[in-house]
Structure 1
Amino acid sequence: METITRPVEHALGTLLSDPVDLGGSRRSTVLRCRTADGDTVIVKAFDPEPDTLRGFTAEAAGLSLGLAGPELLAVLPHAPRPTLVMRDLGTAPTLADLLLGDDPEAVRAGLLAWARGLGRLGAGSVDSRERFDRLVARYATERPIWAEASWIADDAERLPPLLEAAGLTVPAGLADELARIGTAGGDRYPAFTPGDTCPDNNLITPDGLRLIDFETCGYQSVFLTAAYCRMPFSTCWCVFDLPEDLAREAEHAYRTEIVGHYPDLAQDAVWEAGMRQAAVVWTVDITVRLLPLSVEDRPMHRTRRPVGTVRQLLTHRWRKAAGLTEYPAFAATMDLLLTRIAAAWDNPPLPGYPALTVARPER
């Protein structure tokens, strides 16, 4: 603890006490500490590993933009563990807490606040790209931040050998289809995103949505962010079956905000084409990341319950994506995964979100 807190005390000019470990991750330690004047701050110390420091660079740059997230109080790139100090946003519930709770009205309000907040951030960030790039350069480490890495192309390259290793014949034309989709419009419609915009990476506060966790922030296609509404939550553990009307309502909330900067996204043909491309990108990503882990089924989160399993989530994604028939090789790939892999698993389908399926008392 002292290795983390001592450099922070020097930077803030105040003593810290009562550190509480908020969990963090395998990559970082996150503490809530009390200052000498009685306030609390959040201290996030990153492991000094090259891949982990990508997250430090991104989060330092993203929070320094001042467009979203907690106020950044200090950046300590040369501490024994590179560290960020942020203003404490308190203990408000996350959207994940609401989704796993028992109040459907709170879920709807929280989901729409989340979608609108992402849309406003995207629309308000387009002109800040150069400033973000300068901030990334200021805090740069050995490797590029995740948003600048070629992860979409890397996923497309990794998918065919992964399918072959699973005993499947790769449909002809798959590589060409994925190459045509590319970044799902990232060159035409880029906007800033915290990156990991999952239900547990935000707070639903009395003052509205507050986004947290900017380790994978950067500029990407607005469709890749909007897909989190439709799929829902493209890269997250907190995935259950979301009613389609609620998913569409959240997507509309995001779209309404982003159209203010990209007016041609008001055209349904443009929007739907981009959303289908984004669904392909995220489905390939989740397949590449999780199929190797599906040898033994496991919960999608170490501690949170209820939660779906790896096999349930993959089956859910493949089933939804099989309808993207304008990409016939991709759709054929989804059919193969469903009939040759998921059928053998024979796992139950993902249920609905607990808060949306709880029995309501009669009045």
Structure 2
Amino acid sequence: MTVITESRIISVVRAAESLLSQRAGSSVVLDDPEDLGGSGRTTVVRVRVAQNPLSLDRSLVIKALPEHEDPKAFHREIASYKYATALPNESRPGPQLIASDPDLRIMVLSDLGHGRSMPEILDTGDPVETSRAVSAWGQALGRMHAATVGGEVDFLALVRRGPSGTEGRDILRDEARRSVESLPGHAAALGVEVPPRVVEALETAATLFDEGEHRAFSPSDVGPENIMLNDEGVQFMDYEWGGFRDATLDIAYAVVTMTAQLPPRLASHATDLEVSMVDAWRSEVNPIWPTLAHEREMQRKVLVARLLWVWLSTAWMLPGGADLIDPDPSEVDASVEMAPFDPGLENSAGAPEPGTTGFTHDWALHTNDPRVLVGRWTDLAAAASRAGEDEVSAFASATGAALQRIWLA
């Protein structure tokens, strides 16, 4: 992780002061900077508003990108915040954009306060509290989706103000497509047969980024690390690479990443929590997408998206598949011996070397722990069985067993 120096923080605060002062027409003074970390590329700082000619909040959050970084993701994030800020308060998924300067690569956001992170809540192991939080998470996703249906033209108009090529960038879409292309080679290396239904489902899921019956706005990474609960409810914290896609991708992503963070005490409640999240989401989107009221149809659509996310997280872990993620070796459990695959297996995912694309986002979907992947396949097999997708269930069971045998036996 990049170490943010005190001089860098001070320069970011001064740049934000200048930006807000120009906007206000008189001096704005910011004080007491608090480093909030960030993705490694960005500087994120909370500041107190010490002198304020406008009706600004008492504290604000500044996010800044270094000058040498590829600005496309940052421009898309600004467009996402502008779009979300224009939504009604009850449908706004996260912080409000106060000011931004794409040339300086800086944005000033409303401060959501200290609240409670979703990983913190999941870690309590309290079934009742977790169920309420997970339901609120699904409901907030649904409200955002329902409020943004039909808004894609407005969003793209905002994106077009950024650098050329920003409009067409969708990192997860590109990675998902590569992972589907890698399926034959990786499945052969695992010794797993791929049924036609699995191929069909993965190919269908890969089209949901650009097509689909349920298109709505997505912050892109809606995993637990980017979810906070405060007095105003659920807040989504990161809009980098936000855009429009089929909403079933979002709810499936939330389910996959949520179950991976459940403590052992909640393992027996995983299915109930999945159902609670999906039902809460569906309660918000049913009026605009009535076909989802049919249980089997809804289960099938969410399952297709879920299969893609589980396969993508696995492809990232296989030899040569995680180049874009550039995992931190310190995160890998040294007690887990990773048996080698065939070193001659080509990286059919086609991912470029680290640093060549400017992409270093730490997705909630990504994991270095093989036990998490085995658990995801086990959960997927059970979900497929409930949905009547026997071929998907069999494939999920076989893949989980292969990973268990190779990595954990």
Q: How high is the TM-score relative to the length of structure 1?
A: 0.80
Alignment-derived partner of residue 126 in structure 1: 149
Q: How far off its partner does 1:160 sit?
A: 3.0
Contact 1:71 1:86 in 2 (8 A): yes
Contact 2:226 2:236 in 1 (8 A): yes
Moved >4 Å (runs of 4+): 172-177, 325-333
Equivalent residue for 1:46, pick from 57, 60, 65: 65
Structure 2: stretches of 5+ with no match in the other structure: 1-7, 22-27, 53-57, 334-366
Contact 2:63 2:107 in 1 (8 A): yes
Q: How far off its partner does 1:336 sit?
A: 4.5
Partner deviation per Cα, 1:94-139 (whole Å, 9 max, x = no partner):
1211111254433222222111111011001002211111111113
| 2:31 aligned counterpart, secondary structure | strand
Q: 1:58 to 1:42 in 2, by over 3 A?
A: same
Superposition map of 1:250-265 within 5 A: 250-265=277-292
Q: How far off its partner does 1:181 sit?
A: 4.2
Partner deviation per Cα, 1:24-65 (whole Å, 9 max, x = no partner):
012312111222238221111124466x53431232111111
Q: 1 CA distance for matches of 2:110 and 2:299?
A: 39
1:317 maps to 2:331:
no
Q: 1 CA distance for matches of 2:270 and 2:185?
A: 35
Contact 2:371 2:408 in 1 (8 A): no
1:91 maps to 2:114:
yes
Alignment-derived partner of residue 138 in structure 2: 115
Q: How far off its partner does 1:4 sit?
A: 2.1
Alignment-derived partner of residue 146 in structure 1: 170
Contact 1:115 1:251 in 2 (8 A): yes
Q: 2 CA distance for matches of 1:159 and 1:298?
A: 24
Q: 2 CA distance for matches of 1:344 and 1:61?
A: 44
Q: How far off its partner does 1:245 sit?
A: 1.6
Alignment-derived partner of residue 30 in structure 2: 16
Q: 1:175 to 1:203 in 2, by over 3 A?
A: closer
Structure 2: which amino acid aligns with 1:110? A
Kindly, what percent of the aligned residue pairs are identical?
25
Structure 1: stretches of 5+ with no match in the other structure: 300-307, 348-363
Q: How far off its partner does 1:333 sit?
A: 4.8
Contact 1:74 1:86 in 2 (8 A): yes
1:70 maps to 2:115:
no
Q: 1 CA distance for matches of 2:66 and 2:396?
A: 38
Equivalent residue for 1:204, pick from 229, 248, 253: 229
Contact 1:321 1:331 in 2 (8 A): yes
Contact 2:146 2:288 in 1 (8 A): yes
Alignment-derived partner of residue 193 in structure 1: 218
Alignment-derived partner of residue 222 in structure 1: 247
Partner deviation per Cα, 1:296-353 (whole Å, 9 max, x = no partner):
8815xxxxxxxx9611111011223345477777656544433333123337xxxxxx
Q: 1:117 to 1:312 in 2, by over 3 A?
A: same
